[in-house]
Amino acid sequence: MDDVQQRARRTAATANPGARATASTGQAGGTMPGTTTGTTGGTPPVQSGAATRAGSRGNNLDDVRRNNLSAVLGLVHTTGPVSRAQLTASTGLNRSTVGALVGELVSLGLVTEREPDTTKQVGRPSLVIAPGQRTVALAVNPELDAVTIGLVGLGGQVLKRIRYDTLHVPTAPEVVNIVSAVVAGMRDELESNYATVGVGLAVPGLVRAGDGLVKLAPHLGWQNEPLAEMLQDALRLPVFAANDAAVGALAESLFGAGRGVSDLIYLNGGASGIGGGVVSRGALLTGESGYAGELGHTLVNSVGVPCHCGSTGCLETEVRRAPLLEALGLPASRAEELEAVLISRFSGRGGDADADARVDADAAAGPAEAATAAETTASSTASAPHTTDPALQSIVDAQIDFLAIAVRNAVNLCNPELLVLGGFLGSLSAVASDRLERAVARTAAPGGWPVTRISRSSLGVDRLMIGAAELAFAPVLSDPAGTMAALAV
Ligand SMILES: [Zn+2]
């Protein structure tokens, strides 16, 4: 199975994990994609002839057309520019059907079609299909000290990212006001250049499946905040919400380190704790209420410190960014320098000196680029790096050992192909991957661990914007014609 075919399968399997705010605008055709996880994320293409003959219940020509449009658009969305010939091979549809489907997607503004660069080809060239440039989603990520708003194009391309710094931890109504003001400032651009299909919210907290209610966001001090509904009323656009780490897992699995991987675990370390997301057989694991993947609150230290969740010794109480910053002499305001400074304090990276140089060079270019380029597989080191600062070494060792316990449990539970580390957890693994791998290998059940690779998050600061936008794109990807008609954009 080639990469494109693999993506066709994964596209078909990926369900919309976002929870839509209770519909009040009616712009998405009255469907509630967020509540139908596992059924609307695109279905495998169906040959119209076969479907007509079968004549089975609910499988009429409209269903066939919708499913096939969904399959083709999903493939173009996750793969990027792809030839008609590849689409034909990957979907199993015949050439004329693919041509008609692409034509409809072009007329909806969802894809573009162009002549290929023929200089390197032999024989008749196949037209190249690419994600449309007009279709966009807004992405919103409220955090402790800022609200970040992104404009993301179909195909996962971040067109714009605006970070609005706040003087204090924002309340939910303040987030709505900030987003409204930023979107108002972009309105001319949005109306003249783009068709906005919706808004995706990445929330650092528990987000209820079904209506997007923020059940609890402890670091923001929020409880039972209907943020998605409030934002939907303010913007008059469909709004979908999910946990930030879950959204990050989705982004990494579709466009980042987990491209082509159907089973992965994503762990992200941020200022406010550790979040996790699990993608299993291509779909985000949501659980009954949408709260699955809370790996930051798995027990790693039975004599650990109390956690805000009511337990003690959780992963996020034992593995924290603050002690690392302190040991490096960095104030929180310079947290973006953590990785570069941490790496500079460690030496003896053995066979991965080139990767070090790349990280350093990119760190100088900016934290976003550094995070993106620091995609070094943790298994590539030949000798363990170390530091001459014993206090720093002991903090790193202790954090890695606690992280290894959580990784071991997650690996035993989910048998992933890939473990993706983001945020400061990725920085930790950059200097202590050997220790992490040894600790997990020593303790994990023999079946799961040998197949799991560890890698760094590869989408950098764009990760949450891309993942949040994916929530808003889901209805379009599931029913391209129906959703665009309902949106009338
Ligand atoms: Zn906890």
Express each pLDDT in 370-414 by its tens digit: 333 333 334 444 467 788 889 999 999 999 999 999 999 999 999
Q: Give the residue, 33 or 182, on which the prediction is more confident.
A: 182
Distance 199 CA to ligand 1 centre (A): 30
Distance 363 CA to ligand 1 centre (A): 32
Q: Give the residue, 191 or 260, on which the prediction is more confident.
A: 191
Distance 333 CA to ligand 1 centre (A): 25
Distance 68 CA to ligand 1 centre (A): 44
pLDDT value of position 445: 77
Residue with the two structure tokens 């070094």: 376
Distance 281 CA to ligand 1 centre (A): 27
Half-sphere exposure of 354 (CA within 13 A, CB side): 5
Distance 316 CA to ligand 1 centre (A): 7
Distance 308 CA to ligand 1 centre (A): 6
Asked if pLDDT for residue 416 goes beyond 90, the answer is yes
Q: How far is CA 258 from the centre of its chain?
A: 10
Distance 315 CA to ligand 1 centre (A): 7
pLDDT value of position 1: 46
Taken in order of first residue, the domains within the chain and their CATH numbers are 3-131 (1.10.10.10), 135-247 (3.30.420.40), 258-458 (3.30.420.40)
DSSP 3-state of 480: helix
CA-CA distance, 267 to 258, in Å (whole number)? 13
Query: Which residues, other chains included, contact 137 with Cβ-Cβ below 8 Å and sequence gap of 6+?
Result: 151, 152, 196, 197, 198, 199, 200, 468, 469, 470, 472, 473
Distance 407 CA to ligand 1 centre (A): 16
Distance 100 CA to ligand 1 centre (A): 52
Asked if pLDDT for residue 12 goes beyond 60, the answer is no
Q: Do residues 148 and 164 make contact, with C-beta atoms less than 8 angstroms apart?
A: yes
Distance 226 CA to ligand 1 centre (A): 23
pLDDT value of position 430: 92
Distance 377 CA to ligand 1 centre (A): 29
Q: What is the mean pLDDT of the chain?
A: 82
pLDDT value of position 271: 79
Distance 212 CA to ligand 1 centre (A): 22
pLDDT value of position 118: 65
Give the whole-number percent of the chain exceeding pLDDT 70. 79
Rank 252-261, 393-402, 453-462 by mean pLDDT and report only the highest: 393-402
Q: Do residues 404 and 440 make contact, with C-beta atoms less than 8 angstroms apart?
A: yes
Distance 157 CA to ligand 1 centre (A): 34
pLDDT value of position 460: 80
Distance 405 CA to ligand 1 centre (A): 15
Distance 294 CA to ligand 1 centre (A): 9
pLDDT value of position 466: 96
Distance 17 CA to ligand 1 centre (A): 23
Distance 436 CA to ligand 1 centre (A): 22
Distance 300 CA to ligand 1 centre (A): 10
pLDDT value of position 377: 39
Average pLDDT over residues 191-216: 93
Q: Do residues 148 and 203 make contact, with C-beta atoms less than 8 angstroms apart?
A: no
pLDDT value of position 441: 85
Asked if pLDDT for residue 353 goes beyond 80, the answer is no
Q: What is the pTM of this model?
A: 0.78
Distance 411 CA to ligand 1 centre (A): 19
What count of other Cβ atoms lies within 10 Å of the Cβ of residue 345? 18
Least confident span in 112-126, 195-209, 236-250, 340-354 = 340-354
Average pLDDT over residues 210-225: 93
- Sheet with 273-280, strands from edge to edge, namely 283-284, 273-280, 264-270, 418-423, 453-456
Distance 412 CA to ligand 1 centre (A): 20
Least confident span in 249-253, 402-406, 459-463 = 459-463
pLDDT value of position 27: 36
**pLDDT, tens digit (0-9, with 9 covering 90-100), for 19-71:** 777 544 333 333 333 322 222 333 344 444 333 333 344 568 788 999 999 99
Query: Which residues, other chains included, contact 365 with Cβ-Cβ below 8 Å and sequence gap of 6+?
Result: none
- Residues bordering ligand 1, an ion, CB closer than 5 Å: 297, 307, 309, 311, 314
Average pLDDT over residues 4-9: 49
Q: Give the residue, 320 or 23, on which the prediction is more confident.
A: 320
Average pLDDT over residues 201-209: 93
pLDDT value of position 240: 96
Least confident span in 90-94, 220-224, 268-272, 436-440 = 268-272
pLDDT value of position 117: 73
Q: Give the residue, 58 or 144, on which the prediction is more confident.
A: 144
Distance 141 CA to ligand 1 centre (A): 22
pLDDT value of position 62: 83
CA-based angle 422:439:425, to the nearest 5?
15
Distance 397 CA to ligand 1 centre (A): 21
Distance 39 CA to ligand 1 centre (A): 32
Distance 298 CA to ligand 1 centre (A): 7
pLDDT value of position 18: 66
Tokens representing 61? 């020509």
Distance 216 CA to ligand 1 centre (A): 13
Distance 280 CA to ligand 1 centre (A): 24
Q: Give the residue, 6 or 376, on which the prediction is more confident.
A: 6
pLDDT value of position 121: 58
Asked if pLDDT for residue 488 goes beyond 70, the answer is yes
Asked if pLDDT for residue 308 goes beyond 50, the answer is yes
pLDDT value of position 404: 95
- Amino acid 351 reads G
Distance 37 CA to ligand 1 centre (A): 27
pLDDT value of position 210: 84
pLDDT value of position 122: 62
